[in-house]
Amino acid sequence: MSDEPQDSASAEIEAGQKVPLGHDVIQGYLRTLDASPGVYRMLNAKAEVLYVGKARNLKARVSNYARPSGHSGRIARMISETASMMFLTTRTETEALLLEQNLIKQLKPRYNVLLRDDKSFPNILIGKEHTFPQIKKHRGKRSEKGSYFGPFASAGAVNRTLNQLQKVFLLRNCSDAMFESRTRPCLLFQIKRCSAPCVGRVTPAQYQAQVSDAERFLEGKSTEVQAQLASQMAEASEAMEFERAAALRDRIRALTQVQSAQGINPRGVPEADVIALHLEGGQACVQVFFIRANQSWGNRDFYPRTGSGAEESEILEAFVTQFYDDKDPPRLILLSHPVENEDLVAALLAERAGRKVELAVPQRGEKAELVENAARNAKESLARRMAEGAAQSKLLAGLAEAFDLDAPPRRIEVYDNAHIQGADAVGGMIVAGPDGFNKGQYRKFNIKGAAGKAGDDFGMMKEVLTRRFERLLKEDPERKTEGWPDLLLIDGGAGQVSAVGEILAELGVDDVPYIGVAKGIDRDAGKEEFHRPGEPPFALQRNDPVLYFVQRLRDEAHRWANGAHRAKRAKAVGATPLDEIPGVGATRKRALLAHFGSAKAVSRAGLSDLMAVDGISEAMAQAIHDFFHDR
């Protein structure tokens, strides 16, 4: 089938003709369709995608839309707006499901369910490339060799577990470079969080035993580990090695604390994700609990867009397929509601995991209790979010009234700069709206122009806004997405507002309101002055909730910009000329610095000395030598 857009509706709009919509338009496609599986798209008169769907049988599915009655309110509205359709056949139904979810993530149609949180989840990694492996938090692609345990719901859950595991198993968490440079034990050894393998306080065999114990615990074999530690404590006590016995006692206590901190620890469920949905007032909350090694490794709540009124089964199908798009699914997924096309979803997840994945809606027993607990959390989380959303809506309405905006803003962008006398200059942008701060949309801008070095705040603001709006105009000139701001807040007074006005005028953007927030008299919080183009500055009452709201927005932008500046400054402090040599990455850089002691010593080394460094070939040594001597 053709996947080219049907542009007759757009042509009729340009000609000023009335565009046909609804069932009759859809009916016209039936004669060109067969019973193949595939994906279809429904478009409105402006050729905007309203909905992306899959079908086991394209002709049968489209014929349902061609019926004039029998639809839910959501589907009826979607049909009434449809001016054209696009089709793409696939070889299998599973392939159609995968293509559907890819298109939904790419196009974000109004009537589809969309998971709006795409953050990865952290894991615990015990490395395998070192004689004394490091235990650490890991996020992202599993490219490093080692044993991975997770996912954990949050960085906090990982950090709490790592903190306790260090007390129990005394594994190092320092980097390899730090490990190699130690000449005496660090503080962690003194407070009994590490066995100090860096200075030989433990043999490789003893350390590997500790690693094995940690892995067994993370695999759910905690009873075996506790029994072994108790046996060792008894032996030490009988041998009158009371200090060693006391240390083992402390490790057993720490292990017990880890287990008690895990919350729900199901005996009959070694590995599962528990996914529960609560739907109310057109809003949805999905709670995901991670069960691994018979332990709860935390939970996370999600608020998917419901596609203008989708039902539970459709929401959960979309959530599950999108959630596991870049994550390995467990062997068992416990659900609060059945999903549409359960066989297709299970087949798709099994294909991604390379093994069987079971979807279940338990009705009784321990599994049902786990789902019930997740569903209760989903209901409570959604209630809190709706209450917060009502308060946020009130603040946005107050902001619109105070600043004479046409409507409450749905996307506020707040800008700030950070630098020290022009050094390491960074611009920051934060985003807020009806759901509060949207941290996934935050951006930082490394100042590249002369304004940064000169410490010119006006010039830096011009550079940041030019780059921001040039990109917006390039990527979304017709403003079809939600990426365009309804309001700009700038940290500064009349000068910054004037600079913003010049930039927007040059780019032809004349419908985005912008306001400067100046510190006011004595730079005192509560005395802020607000500057609008062509109008005198004004202030709000000290106890006005809108003023507190603007202060929070400004402070968050300040925090974000300062954090980016500190990170850039720290990176610059640790930089060496070795970073500029092609072919010298982190590993070779560490080897050179460990061998010679400093970058200056590397610059003075001869070819034979450079070649003596592990990992430096003759060609690489020549390149390093030429780099410094050509300079």
Lowest-confidence region among 4-8, 13-17, 355-359? 4-8
Nearest Cα residue to 437 out of 426, 428, 445: 428
User: Residue 388 domain-assigned?
Assistant: no
Helix (H, G, I), strand (E, B) or coil at 146: strand
Residue-level pLDDT at 13:
45
> Where is mean pLDDT largest: 35-49, 106-120, 236-250, 524-538?
35-49
pLDDT at 143 exceeding the cut of 80: yes
CA nearest neighbour of 277 among 267, 264, 286, 290: 286
- pLDDT for 45-94, tens place per residue? 988 899 999 999 999 999 999 998 888 889 999 999 999 999 999 999 99
- Assess whether pLDDT exceeds 60 at residue 523: no
The answer on 176 and 106 residing in a single domain is no
> Which residue carries 């607990």 as its tokens?
373
* Distant-in-sequence contacts of 589-594, Cβ < 8 A, 24+ apart: 590/176, 590/177, 590/180, 591/615, 591/616, 592/616, 592/624, 594/177, 594/180, 594/181
Q: How many domains does the chain have?
A: 5
Q: From residue 274, give the alpha-carbon distance in Å to each of 262, 349, 380, 462, 584.
A: 15, 15, 16, 48, 46
DSSP string for 597-613: SSHHHHHH--HHHHHTS
Query: Is residue 353 classed exposed, middle or buried when 0-12, 13-18 and 19+ CB atoms within 10 A define those classes?
Result: middle
Provide the pLDDT for residue 68: 87
Q: Is residue 436 part of a domain?
A: yes
Instruction: Assign 3-class secondary structure to 76-102.
Output: HHHHHHCCEEEEEECCCHHHHHHHHHH
Residue 8 has pLDDT above 60, yes or no: no
Q: Is 615 helix (H, G, I), strand (E, B) or coil?
A: coil
Q: Who's near 578: CB < 8 A, 6+ residues apart?
A: 584, 589, 592, 593, 599, 602
Overall pTM > 0.75: no
Q: Mean pLDDT over residues 157-172, rounded?
A: 85
Give the span between the Cα atoms of 488 and 159, in whole angstroms.
Answer: 37
Q: What single-letter amino acid sits at 204?
A: P
506 part of a folded domain: yes
Asked which of 261, 279, 314 is the last residue of a domain, the reply is 261
Rounded to 10 deg, the angle between the 242-261 and 222-238 helix axes is: 160
Contact between residue 483 and residue 459 where contact means Cβ atoms under 8 Å apart: no
CA distances in angstroms from 330 to 122, 323, 371, 440, 550, listed in the order given:
15, 12, 16, 26, 44
Q: What are phi and psi of 10, to 5 degrees?
A: -65, -40
Residue 445, amino acid: F
Asked whether residue 250 falls in the same domain as residue 280, the answer is: no
pLDDT (average), residues 495-510: 89
Other Cβ atoms within 10 Å of 442 Cβ, number: 17
Sorting pLDDT into bands at 50, 70 and 90, what band is 487? Answer: very high
Selection from 136, 139, 143 nearest residue 151 by Cα? 139
Whose structure tokens read 């005192």? 524
Indicate the DSSP class of residue 408: -
> Residue 523: which CATH number?
3.30.420.340
H-type helices in 403-520, by residue range?
A: 450-454, 457-475, 494-507
CA 310/CA 97 separation, integer angstroms? 17
What single letter denotes the amino acid at residue 284? A
Same domain, yes or no: 184 and 38: no
Residue 124 belongs to what H/E stretch? strand 123-127
Confidence at 223, pLDDT banded by 50, 70, 90: low
Question: Do 167 and 62 lie in a common domain?
Answer: no
Domain contains 396: no
- pLDDT of residue 11 exceeding 90: no
Can you give the length of the chain in residues?
631
* Average pLDDT score over residue span 131-151: 89
Residues 379 and 430 in one domain: no
CATH of the domain at 57: 3.40.1440.10
Q: Which has the minimum average pLDDT: 294-298, 387-391, 524-528? A: 524-528
Residue 35: is its pLDDT beyond 90?
yes
> 343 is written with which tokens?
């066989």
Q: Which residues pair with 304 in a beta bridge?
A: none
pLDDT of residue 452: 61
Reported confidence tier of residue 6, pLDDT bands at 50, 70, 90 = very low
Q: Calculate mean pLDDT across residues 27-38.
A: 92
Distance, CA of 393 to CA of 401 (rounded, Å): 12
> 261, 283, 314: which is the final residue of a domain?
261
In this predicted structure, what is the pLDDT of residue 20?
81
Give the Cα separation of 554 and 413 in Å (integer): 10
CB-based burial label for 113 (10 Å; 0-12, 13-18, 19+): buried
Distance CA 577, CA 584 (A): 10
Same domain as 567, residue 422: yes
- Given a cut of 80, is residue 23 above it in pLDDT? yes
Per-residue model confidence (pLDDT) at position 257: 61
Least confident piece of the model among 102-116, 222-236, 298-312, 530-544: 222-236
Nearest CA among 550, 493, 545, 494 for reference residue 523: 493
Last residue of a domain, one of 233, 261, 289: 261
Contact 325, 419 (CB under 8 A): no
Contact of 409 with 400, CB cutoff 8 Å: yes
Higher pLDDT pick, 106 / 599: 106
What DSSP element (H or E) covers 53? strand 49-55
For 456, other C-beta atoms within 10 Å of its C-beta total: 20
Q: DSSP character for 241?
A: -
Rounded CA separation 306/285 (Å): 10
What amino acid is encoded at 323 in this protein?
F
Write out the residue range of the structural domain in which residue 21 sits. 8-111
Q: How many CB atoms lie within 10 A of CB 320?
A: 25
Please give the mean pLDDT across all residues of the chain: 85
Do residues 219 and 84 both lie within one domain?
no
Q: In 476-585, which ranges are continuous DSSP H helix?
A: 494-507, 545-573
Q: Is the pLDDT assigned to residue 10 strictly greater than 60?
A: no
Structural domain includes residue 405 = no
Q: In this prediction, what percent of the chain has a pLDDT beyond 90?
A: 42
Measure the CA–CA gap between 609 and 143, rounded to whole angstroms: 32
**Is residue 200 domain-resident?**
yes
46 occurs within a structural domain: yes
List the one residue out of 175, 31, 36, 152 whose CA is nearest residue 92: 36
Which comes out higher in pLDDT, residue 308 or 409?
409
The CATH number of residue 586's host domain is: 1.10.150.20
Residues 565 and 427 occupy one common structural domain: yes
Any domain includes 116: no
**39 closest CA partner among 51, 47, 23:** 51
pLDDT at 415 (0 to 100): 92
Question: Mean pLDDT over residues 500-519, rounded?
Answer: 90
Regarding whether 372 and 308 lie in a shared domain, the answer is: yes
% of the chain with per-residue pLDDT over 70? 90
> How are strands ordered across the β-sheet holding 123-127?
135-138, 123-127, 146-149
Answer yes or no: do 372 and 509 share one domain.
Answer: no
Same domain, 41 and 163: no
309 and 345 co-located in one domain: yes
pLDDT at 5: 42
Preceding peptide of 151 cis, ω within 30°: yes
